[in-house]
Structure 1
Amino acid sequence: MEPIRETLKRVVNAPAFSERYNDMRKEVLAHPGVQKFREDHADEIDDSTIDRGLGKLYEYIDQSHDCNKCPSVDACINHLKGFEPNLVLERGTIGISYTKCRLKEAADNKRHASSLIHSMYMPKEVMQATLDKFDADESRMEALMAVGEFLDQVTGPGSLPEKGLYLYGQFGIGKSYLLSAAANELAELNVKTVLVFVPEFMREMKQAIGDQTLQEKVDYVKKADVLMLDDIGAEAMSSWTRDEVLGTILHYRMAEKLPTFMSSNFSYSELEHHLTYSQRGEKEDLKAARVMERIRALTKPVKLEGLNRRN
């Protein structure tokens, strides 16, 4: 039987193999990344180093660089999905290290931003909102500008303006969308936001009394870096939810100077009227005025106008 070394030697020296080897070597050496690597290490790399590292060099050129062959992270062709190869020279030997690619960076940043937004009962499609897709005609420009002015003052979690916005107007004109778009912008600035659909939240608070999670849920909402209360005034407000839930949340945020956004179909005066009457028809002017005092301290009113975009 022929010794294995002799067999390998015969295969390597065969014309067909030699031709393929030379073609591969030319292809490798013509690659811009390999050429730059050789230039950067001109004093350390010779032909024998290239020949010993030809396998690694081919592995390098066969992959995507700067995402030039990959439309997305999921469709990445590289050996480590989401990571691109870099040539390295260690003790005279060519090797490959991997670093996160730009698509992977963008996907991770987006995932991190999403984790900073806690949505409670908000529609999924609204949570994809962006400011650049907000239809800002002349009647809606004031609201968009107000959101922009708030965001311009934010450089991170420790630099938040004390006052948020109170967006009010008719049904379906984009108040929830604008809140969600602002939350997504804040997430890009590493600011955690809690977005709450108020009618459903108040219903859950009544149930939370029975399962003893009321205080935990109220604490989570009231301590958010930025709190957004969507559709306040659409709930059937009882004296208890007004005073012990909403009042408690607003009092804490006013005392701690934490920015709060709200959206409503009601103006300030209309909301105060709504808060004045309990579900049992009791008129409680003083308690409603106390809640409104906190809302006025926490927000700046901005009217949003336009056509109903849900129809």
Structure 2
Amino acid sequence: MKDILQKKIQELRETIKNSPKEKEEVQYECPICKDRGLIYKDGQAYICNCVNKKRFENQFKHARLAGEYLHKSFDDFQIKYYSSYRIDTNSNVTYRQLATQCLTAAKLFTDSVINKKKHKGMYVYGTVGSGKTLLTSCIANRLLEHNIELLFISVPDFLDEIKATFNQKGNQEMDLMNQVRNVRVLILDDLGAHTYTDWSAGRIYNIINYRASNNLSTIITSNLSVDGLAEALDERTSSRVMQLCTLYRLETEEDIRCQVYKENLKRV
């Protein structure tokens, strides 16, 4: 019996000797809390900063904001790209004045949402490359910094996403529609001169009508005036847009992306 025990001990020693050594150091995403999410100090537990960081990152992810516009701030919306002498014939003010008015309204909208003050939405329209998406991205980022729930939806992409649910089981279309209709702040980007079927026009109206009826914060960008929107969709949709939003226009003599590109070439 004693010999058997000694043999087992020797086998165990050999196993330990020949087994691969464990890594001396475990790699953690957060070395401060060792991925626990909590820091213990003086007998008290505190939430680690990494938890808030992950929550912040998830908010941006679920907001659907495009990568190139992540973390854009109002400082990135530069008035210099708007002409100080070109006059908008509809309002009889310069393009720069239009941009200044729109920027001021965007900041006021943002502050009103954060402070839960009564406000109307914004309908920002203008030619391609006039800064509409950039400005509304600045609004979105500012609100996300204050943990405001929002969705930034590209209208053409959203309609395609709904169509993709047609052959799937369950209520995916209804779930998508409810998510967009009920979110605290909705930004509908590029509600423009596309070919709308009765089906797609109906989905757009459903969203806008619901949000207008429930006074939910909404921003819409388009390359169409409200009159143009009535032609592209229908009058009932444009009527609800005017009820829901204040109209703002952005215009430039040249696409801002082209202006930035030329500036960068000069620096080379």
Normalising by structure 2, report the TM-score.
0.68
Structure 1 residue corresponding to 2:187, chosen from 196, 210, 228: 228
Are 1:172 and 1:310, in contact at CA under 8 Å, matched by a contact in 2? yes
Asked if 1:303 is matched to 2:243, the reply is no
- 1:129 aligns to what SS in structure 2? coil
Contact 1:221 1:227 in 2 (8 A): yes
> In the alignment, does 2:143 pair up with 1:197?
no
Q: Percent identity?
A: 27
- Indicate the residue corresponding to 1:93 in structure 2: none
Q: Distance in 2 between matches of 1:227 and 1:152?
A: 16
Alignment-mate amino acid for residue 126 of structure 1: Y
Aligned residues: 210
Change (3 A) 1:109 1:160: farther
Structure 1 position 266, deviation (Å)? 1.0
Structure 1 counterpart SS, 2:195: coil
Name the SS of the counterpart of 1:260 in structure 2: strand
Contact 1:130 1:184 in 2 (8 A): yes
- Considering only CA atoms, is the larger Rg found in Structure 1 or Structure 2? 1
CA shift in 2, pair 1:115/1:161, >3 Å: farther
TM-score by length of 1: 0.59
Residue in structure 2 matching 1:150, options 84, 88, 109: 109
Distance 1:230 1:110, change over 3 A: farther
Aligned to 2:67: 124
Distance in 2, matches of 1:294 and 1:237, equals: 17
Structure 1 residue 225 displacement after superposition: 0.2
Which deviates further from its counterpart, 202-211 or 215-224?
Answer: 202-211
Instruction: Give the Cα separation in 2 of the matches to 1:203 and 1:214.
Output: 11
1:13 corresponding residue in structure 2: none
SS at match of 1:194: strand
**Separation in 2 of the partners of 1:238 and 1:153?**
36
| Residues 205 and 84 of structure 1: CA distance in aligned 2, closer, same or farther (over 3 Å) | closer
CA distance in structure 2 between the partners assigned to 1:98 and 1:213 by the alignment: 41
Aligned partner of 1:6 in structure 2 is none
Pair 98,80 (structure 1): closer, same or farther in 2 beyond 3 Å = farther
Which 5+ residue runs of structure 2 have no aligned equivalent?
1-27, 81-95, 259-268
Deviation, structure 1 residue 146: 0.5
User: Partners of 1:116 and 1:79 in 2: how far apart?
Assistant: 22
The CA distance in 2 between the partners of 1:79 and 1:147, in whole Å, is: 39
CA RMSD of aligned residues (A): 2.8
User: What CA distance in whole angstroms lies between the structure 2 residues aligned with 1:135 and 1:149?
Assistant: 17
Q: How does 1:15-164 map to 2 (within 5 A)?
A: 88=42, 105=49, 108-117=51-60, 118-120=62-64, 122-137=65-80, 138-139=96-97, 140-155=99-114, 159=116, 161-164=118-121
1:242 equivalent to 2:201? Answer yes
**Partner in structure 2 of residue 268 of structure 1:** 226
Q: What one-letter code is carried by the residue in structure 1 that aligns with 2:110?
A: L
Q: Is 2:145 aligned against 1:188?
A: yes
Ranges in structure 1 where 5+ consecutive residues have no aligned partner: 1-72, 89-95, 276-287
- Aligned residues of 1:193 and 1:224 also touching (Cα < 8 A): yes
CA-to-aligned-CA distance 1:250-285 (integer Å, 9 cap, x gap)? 11111111011011111111221222xxxxxxxxxx
Letter of the 2:109 partner, please give it: F
